[in-house]
């Protein structure tokens, strides 16, 4: 298939060359620090020839022989206009200067450049720059990527103290979270209070909510693609911040006579501080390190090495100790084959693991997921009308669901090792972006994905091939009868899956500043996070598809209307979507997922569907910038009995997923009053999370037992919150290298007790039934001092 | 055992969270159903002839006063090996009793309840129970370092899967605490289970002078799962608890399957101990 593609490319190249066209290619950098700029637009004035830089700052334009003005622009930067005489292929590097003509601290949140936004057939995508993330008030002053994307339409989470985020009614495990291309299996520190991404080292964050491009695969809801800075290649720079809860420090600078650069960053929270019972011997803290280096061998070859190491440590009186975290490494080689063909080869290693020690029962548990990933991606600038992305990837996974061991000789726990699981996931893709006419742009992609569940473990067999059986007398699902085990050798394959995943995007320009878009994507997901709790926990176990579990398959249809007003000062983005996911795992009543070798006896596979309307109004320029996001949506699931018989889970009826939010409003804004003072604020309103309330009670064994019926038929009270922040930059000498700023923030300014959960139980003293609300954060004021040297 | 892992997570949130308060919540009320609490417990060292079965109906969740006793049912238990029927006398307060029950190990019994022209049945086998070896009192164990806990020791037989339910009740407390234990990770070992009380302050913990009643039951796997689910849903709704679901027991309505009953029919041997807590140094 790849061979055919190359043949096509060669044929097209010949055609192109016969027309006496020439190509300009090169990179766009930030003048201040040499960082490559992703998403800058490079256009030839008064032509339709143009494009945007890729993630490595690379661009390539092809036009007939002639003299042109080349325009390089990126919002917040001064546009470069330069005359080029196109009589030969050439290479040009542009360095954009930050816009200092206006004193307003302009920060854009618009994706790509204005023009590209209207024309780009890609939909359901949001780009947030690090500077924007830093403006959004954060709880306890710790700037947070995952919290900032929740201000976008279609993105929610389960409130304070919950891991991850939910996109368009999808589950936490349906997001592909990438840090410099490495898969992050848990993006939360301290059960979701903070995210694992240090805002000081992040260049930009791109979130695909739908219409996921063909170069990504493996998760059905979204892709969160986070890129780390390469480091300042011009000057040495120190950045840091001292907060009430955590501190951070980063250093970056040039290497090898400005041929390379590095960035190193560390962050840590203080132990004890936010523990309620500080007098006890408890600790809860996290730390993380980021490192990245880049080296430009020559104009056509660049190397990058990046890594992340993060850890959470919790210890409660030695009764319970828990530590978990991600480790990733990535080695990348950018190679420009010629002025039209850009390539990147990556080798990535990732490890997510956790340990638990439960002192009071003498149990020690370790678990991990390791993956090795190789990717080779190409971008071919075929003509000024057509660019083609293509590539291949392979990921090898090693799952260790758990080694259970006794802590010491006194422990009555027996050693127990759960079966290790292995799998290989591979993908081949091609994506063509083509201008059909001046008004119509199309992006068509196809991904072919393969998943091989590798042997090296026994697989259980069941009577009638039923791991779960419906007991019609008692109206419950039960474990099937195990008949034996089939041992698979490491060289054998337990199960194989493959899928064609077409992706399609169309953009039709209605006018200079408005367009309509249509999108379709089909995505396969071969890994599943087993979690039957309301909030995902760091201890939830990932499991690969195999003999009993089929891959999740999503189809998403979307349509949108995009408009810019007053020369790009305001923009309106409206999208509607409809998404279905097949083979979504659901859990039988009373399912037991922990330390279970035969997960298939606890689950059934059903379907889920989600649909909604998203509206985003943004003010991109001026003293006041910000946006209003509104989402109206529905997310539900249904799991029939299937092979197990019976009506299915929840009597086979559709029911709300825990991520269903009818209304979701986010308002965020920042206002620059003077050079010294700027202010920002957030307001969030969300329909309460679906929960299951009791519908009755009875007495059994002297206990009041709650009666439950339909799942998720009730809702918590609505969630709403206002956050405020003020930034003060003291007077400083114009040439002083030390630049400091104070950030004062108030999280939950009107001190609303938003229910993270409502639990139903008996009063300890009276035995009377009562409902208890748990609210995680009341009003939280904080102050942080940030510095730059 | 496994629930401790979830329990540990709950513990973490309790340490981290800033506030909990009791609030008023409107909850729906489903149509009432029959509840059968048929626990035929044969206490070791007794004849086991006196048995009681309790029938009631479900009521609204926050309704503490309704009279939900079922006084118009007919209750009997049959020993299947010889079709011997033990009739239970209606005491007109929701309880049905007999003084003639014959408890025999490994015999299978069948419950029959006739209520509003519908017949509910369930069957269960009487299992022998492992005796309690020892009960001790300590402070340094358990979850809270300085709180008193009671430790129960018993030997798990190594040649089979065993399931246990323990019941702890401090005299004067409004309700007991049940524990579900399987020997999945403990097979063939001496098992120790602790009972500790936690609350907002030290007064809620176990105190010297408290009398704690302890029952150990060997139970069927199904009953173990029933109690496991029951336990995991007590005080449910915390962020790390599984979505609560309907708790179905082993009683079947043979007349009208959709009008099923809650509760359980269990027949077990039990070892009972009572300890009075003493002041510790």
Q: Kindly state the average pLDDT of the residues B117-140.
A: 91
Same domain flag for B108 and B154: no
Q: Give which of A152, A123, A117 is closest to A211, Cα–Cα.
A: A123
Same domain flag for B97 and B233: no
Instruction: Verify whether the Cβ–Cβ distance B1 to A363 is below 8 Å.
Output: yes
B17 lies within 8 A of chain A by CB:
yes
User: Which residues are within 8 A (CB) of A567 and not within 5 positions of it... i.e. 6 or more apart?
Assistant: none
- DSSP annotation string for A342-375: EEEEEEEEEEEEEEEEEGGGTEEEEEEEEEEEEE
According to DSSP, the residues that pair with A486 across neighbouring strands are A459
Can you give the pTM of this predicted structure?
0.88
Same domain flag for B75 and B199: no
Q: Kindly state the average pLDDT of the residues B18-43.
A: 90
Sign of CA dihedral B215, B218, B224, B228: positive
Instruction: Verify whether the Cβ–Cβ distance B35 to A698 is below 8 Å.
Output: yes
Instruction: Verify whether the Cβ–Cβ distance A757 to B24 is below 8 Å.
Output: no
User: Which residues are within 8 A (CB) of A685 and not within 5 positions of it... i.e. 6 or more apart?
Assistant: A663, A664, A665, A718, A719, A720
| Total Cβ atoms within 10 A of residue A437 | 11
B170 lies within 8 A of chain A by CB:
no
The whole-angstrom distance between B26's CA and the closest CA on chain A is 9
Q: State the pLDDT confidence band at A112, using cuts at 50, 70 and 90.
A: very low
Give A764's contacts in chain B (Cβ within 8 Å). Answer: 199, 204
B62 lies within 8 A of chain A by CB:
yes
d(CA A250, CA A248): 7
Task: Report A:715-774 residues touching B (Cβ under 8 A).
Answer: 753, 756-774
CATH code for the domain in which residue B262 is found: 2.60.40
Task: Report A:313-352 residues touching B (Cβ under 8 A).
Answer: 314, 316-317, 319-320, 322
d(CA A249, CA A264): 8
Task: Report A:603-642 residues touching B (Cβ under 8 A).
Answer: none
Same domain flag for B90 and B229: no
Count how many domains chain B has: 2
What percentage of chain B's residues is helix, strand, coil (to nearest 5)?
Answer: 10, 40, 50
Task: Report A:348-387 residues touching B (Cβ under 8 A).
Answer: 356, 358, 360-361, 363, 365
Q: Kindly state the average pLDDT of the residues A707-735.
A: 87
pLDDT of residue A110: 37
pLDDT of residue A16: 46
Instruction: Verify whether the Cβ–Cβ distance B189 to A708 is below 8 Å.
Output: no
Task: Report B:69-128 residues touching A (Cβ under 8 A).
Answer: none
Look at the domain A125-788 and name its fold. Answer: Maltoporin; Chain A (2.40.170)
B264 lies within 8 A of chain A by CB:
yes
Residue A489 per-residue DSSP state: P
Average pLDDT, chain B: 87
Same domain flag for B252 and B176: no
Instruction: Verify whether the Cβ–Cβ distance B229 to A590 is below 8 Å.
Output: yes
* Phi then psi dihedrals of residue A647, to 5 deg: -75, -25
Instruction: Verify whether the Cβ–Cβ distance B16 to A694 is below 8 Å.
Output: no
pLDDT of residue B4: 57
The whole-angstrom distance between A526's CA and the closest CA on chain B is 24
Is residue B85 included in any domain, yes or no? yes
* Phi then psi dihedrals of residue A142, to 5 deg: -95, 110
Instruction: Verify whether the Cβ–Cβ distance A314 to B12 is below 8 Å.
Output: yes
Give A320's contacts in chain B (Cβ within 8 Å). Answer: 8, 11-12, 143
Q: Which of B4, B25, B139 to mutate to test the interface with A (most CBs of A within 10 A)?
A: B25
Please give the structure tokens belonging to residue A465.
Answer: 């091939």
Same domain flag for B166 and B206: yes
Lowest mean pLDDT among A345-349, A360-364, A386-390: A360-364
Same domain flag for B40 and B179: no
Residue A150 per-residue DSSP state: T
Is residue B281 included in any domain, yes or no? no
- In CATH, the number for domain A2-101 is 2.60.40.1120
Q: Tell me which chain B residue has its CA closest to the CA of residue A594.
A: B2
Range(s) of the domain holding residue B143 = 3-14+129-243+271-276
d(CA A588, CA A608): 16
CATH code for the domain in which residue B160 is found: 2.60.40.10
Is residue B19 included in any domain, yes or no? no
The whole-angstrom distance between B82's CA and the closest CA on chain A is 24
pLDDT tens-digit map of A27-78: 898 888 888 888 888 888 888 788 888 888 888 888 888 888 888 888 778 8
Residue A56 per-residue DSSP state: T
pLDDT of residue A278: 46
pLDDT of residue A280: 57
Residue at token pair 């700023």: A741
Same domain flag for B94 and B174: no
Is residue B96 included in any domain, yes or no? yes
Please give the structure tokens belonging to residue B104.
Answer: 């025999």
Same domain flag for B119 and B256: yes
Q: State the pLDDT confidence band at A379, using cuts at 50, 70 and 90.
A: very high
Is residue B22 included in any domain, yes or no? no
Which residue among B8, B16, B175 sits closest to A703, beta carbon to beta carbon? B175
Same domain flag for B171 and B207: yes
The residue that leads in pLDDT, A325 or A116, is A325
Cβ distance A611 to A633 under 8 Å? yes
Is residue B43 included in any domain, yes or no? yes
Which residue among A414, A761, A764 sits closest to B189, beta carbon to beta carbon? A414
Is residue B27 included in any domain, yes or no? no
Average pLDDT, chain A: 85
pLDDT at B135 over 50: yes
Q: A-B interface: how many C-beta pairs under 8 angstroms?
A: 283
* Interface predicted TM-score (ipTM): 0.92
d(CA A293, CA A307): 9
Q: Tell me which chain A residue has its CA closest to the CA of residue B56.
A: A698
pLDDT tens-digit map of A101-110: 443 333 433 3
The whole-angstrom distance between A447's CA and the closest CA on chain B is 36
Per-domain residue ranges for chain A? 2-101, 125-788
Q: Which of B38, B185, B225 to mutate to test the interface with A (most CBs of A within 10 A)?
A: B185
Spell A637-655 as b/e; 16+ CB within 10 A means b: bbbbbebbbbebbbeeeeb
A701 lies within 8 A of chain B by CB:
yes
Q: Give which of A72, A85, A78 is closest to A28, Cα–Cα.
A: A72
Is residue B21 included in any domain, yes or no? no
Q: Give which of A60, A100, A58, A95 is closest to A80, Cα–Cα.
A: A95
């Amino acid at each position: 298939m790849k061979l055919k593609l190359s043949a096509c490319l060669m044929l097209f190249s010949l055609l192109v060359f016969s027309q006496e066209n020439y190509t300009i290619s090169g990179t766009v950098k930030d003048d201040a620090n040499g960082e490559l700029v992703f998403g800058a637009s490079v256009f030839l004035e008064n032509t339709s020839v143009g494009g945007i830089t890729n993630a490595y700052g690379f661009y390539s334009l092809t036009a007939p022989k002639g003299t042109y003005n080349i325009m390089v622009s990126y919002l917040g930067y001064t546009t470069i206009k330069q005359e080029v005489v196109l009589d030969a292929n050439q290479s040009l590097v542009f360095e954009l200067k930050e816009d200092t003509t206006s004193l307003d601290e302009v920060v854009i949140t618009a994706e790509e450049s204005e023009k590209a936004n209207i024309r780009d057939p890609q939909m359901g995508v949001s780009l947030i720059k690090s500077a924007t993330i830093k403006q959004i008030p954060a709880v306890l002053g710790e700037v947070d990527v995952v919290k900032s994307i929740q201000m976008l339409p279609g993105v929610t989470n389960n409130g304070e103290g919950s891991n991850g985020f939910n996109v368009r009614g999808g589950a936490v495990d349906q997001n592909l979270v990438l840090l410099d291309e490495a898969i992050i299996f848990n993006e939360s520190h301290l059960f979701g209070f903070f995210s694992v991404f240090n805002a000081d080292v992040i260049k930009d964050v791109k979130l695909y909510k739908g219409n996921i491009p063909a170069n990504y695969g493996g998760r059905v809801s979204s892709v969160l693609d986070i890129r780390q800075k390469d480091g300042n290649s011009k000057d040495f720079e120190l950045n840091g911040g001292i907060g009430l809860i955590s501190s951070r420090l980063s250093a970056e600078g040039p290497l090898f006579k400005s041929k390379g650069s590095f960035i190193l960053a560390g962050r840590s929270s203080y132990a004890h501080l936010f523990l309620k019972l500080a007098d006890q011997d408890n600790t809860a803290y996290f730390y993380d390190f980021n490192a990245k280096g880049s080296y430009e061998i020559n104009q056509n070859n660049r190397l990058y090495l990046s890594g992340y190491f993060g850890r959470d440590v919790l210890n409660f009186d030695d009764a319970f100790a828990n530590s978990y975290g991600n480790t990733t490494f990535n080695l990348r080689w950018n190679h420009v084959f010629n002025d039209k063909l850009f390539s990147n080869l990556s080798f990535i290693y990732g490890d997510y693991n956790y340990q638990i020690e439960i002192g009071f029962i003498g149990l020690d548990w370790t678990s991990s997921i390791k993956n090795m990933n190789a990717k080779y991606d190409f971008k071919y600038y075929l003509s000024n009308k057509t660019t083609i992305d293509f590539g291949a990837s392979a990921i090898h996974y090693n799952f260790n669901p758990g080694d259970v061991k006794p802590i010491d000789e006194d422990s009555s726990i027996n050693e127990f090792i759960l079966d290790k699981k292995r799998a290989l996931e591979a993908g081949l893709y091609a994506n063509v972006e083509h201008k059909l006419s001046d008004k119509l742009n199309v992006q068509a992609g196809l991904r072919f994905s393969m998943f091989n569940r590798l042997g090296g473990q026994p697989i259980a067999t069941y009577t009638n091939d039923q791991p779960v059986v419906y007991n019609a007398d008692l109206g419950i699902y039960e474990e099937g009868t195990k008949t034996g085990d089939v041992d698979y050798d490491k060289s054998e394959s337990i199960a194989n899956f493959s899928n064609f995943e077409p992706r399609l995007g169309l953009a039709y320009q209605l006018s200079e500043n408005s367009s309509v878009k249509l999108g379709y994507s089909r995505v396969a997901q071969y890994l599943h996070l087993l979690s039957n709790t309301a909030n995902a926990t760091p201890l939830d176990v990932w499991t690969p598809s195999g003999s009993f579990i089929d891959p999740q398959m999503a189809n998403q249809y979307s349509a949108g209307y995009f408009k810019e007003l007053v020369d790009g000062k305001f923009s309106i983005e409206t999208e509607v979507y409809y998404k279905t996911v097949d083979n979504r795992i659901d859990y039988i009543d009373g399912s037991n997922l922990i330390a279970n070798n035969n997960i298939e006896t606890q689950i059934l596979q059903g379907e889920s569907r989600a649909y909604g309307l998203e509206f985003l109004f943004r003010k991109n320029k001026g003293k006041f910038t910000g946006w209003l996001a509104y989402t109206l949506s529905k997310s539900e699931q249904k799991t029939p009995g299937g092979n197990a018989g019976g009506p299915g889970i929840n009597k086979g009826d559709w029911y709300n997923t825990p991520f269903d939010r009818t209304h979701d409003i986010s308002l965020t804004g920042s206002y620059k009053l003077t050079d010294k003072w700027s202010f920002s604020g957030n307001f969030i309103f969300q329909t309460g999370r679906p929960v299951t309330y009791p519908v009755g009670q009875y007495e059994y064994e002297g206990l009041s037992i709650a009666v439950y019926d339909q799942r998720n038929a009730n809702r918590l009270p609505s969630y709403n919150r206002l956050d405020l922040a003020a930034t003060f930059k003291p007077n400083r000498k114009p040439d002083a290298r030390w630049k400091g700023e104070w950030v004062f923030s108030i999280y939950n300014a009107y001190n609303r007790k938003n229910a993270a959960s409502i639990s139903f139980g008996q009063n300890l003293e009276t035995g009377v039934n009562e409902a208890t609300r748990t609210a995680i954060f009341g009003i939280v004021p904080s102050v942080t001092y940030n510095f730059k040297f | 055992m496994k629930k401790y892992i979830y329990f540990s997570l709950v513990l973490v949130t309790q340490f981290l969270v800033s506030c909990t308060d009791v609030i008023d919540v409107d909850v729906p009320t489903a149509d009432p159903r029959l509840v059968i609490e048929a626990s035929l417990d044969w206490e070791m060292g007794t004849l086991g002839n006196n048995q009681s079965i309790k029938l009631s109906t479900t009521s609204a969740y926050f309704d503490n006063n309704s009279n939900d006793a079922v006084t118009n049912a007919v209750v009997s238990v049959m020993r299947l090996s010889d079709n011997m029927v033990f009739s239970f006398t209606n005491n007109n307060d929701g309880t049905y009793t007999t003084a003639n029950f014959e408890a025999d190990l490994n015999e299978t019994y069948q419950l029959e309840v006739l209520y509003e022209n519908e017949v509910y049945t369930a069957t269960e086998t009487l299992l022998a129970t492992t005796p309690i070896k020892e009960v001790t009192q300590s402070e340094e164990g358990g979850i809270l370092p300085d709180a008193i806990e009671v430790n129960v020791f018993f030997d798990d037989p190594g040649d089979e899967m065993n399931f246990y339910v323990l019941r702890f009740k401090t005299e004067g407390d409004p309700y007991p605490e049940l524990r579900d234990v399987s020997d999945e990770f403990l097979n063939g070992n001496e098992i120790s289970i602790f009972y500790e009380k936690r609350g907002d302050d030290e007064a809620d913990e176990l105190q010297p002078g408290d009398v704690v009643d302890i029952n150990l039951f060997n139970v069927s796997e199904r009953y173990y799962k029933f109690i496991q689910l029951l336990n995991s849903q007590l005080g449910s709704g915390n962020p790390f608890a599984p979505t609560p679901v309907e708790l179905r027991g082993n009683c079947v309505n043979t007349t009208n399957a959709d009008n099923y009953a809650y509760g359980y029919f269990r027949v077990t041997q039990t070892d009972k101990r009572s300890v009075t807590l003493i002041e510790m140094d």
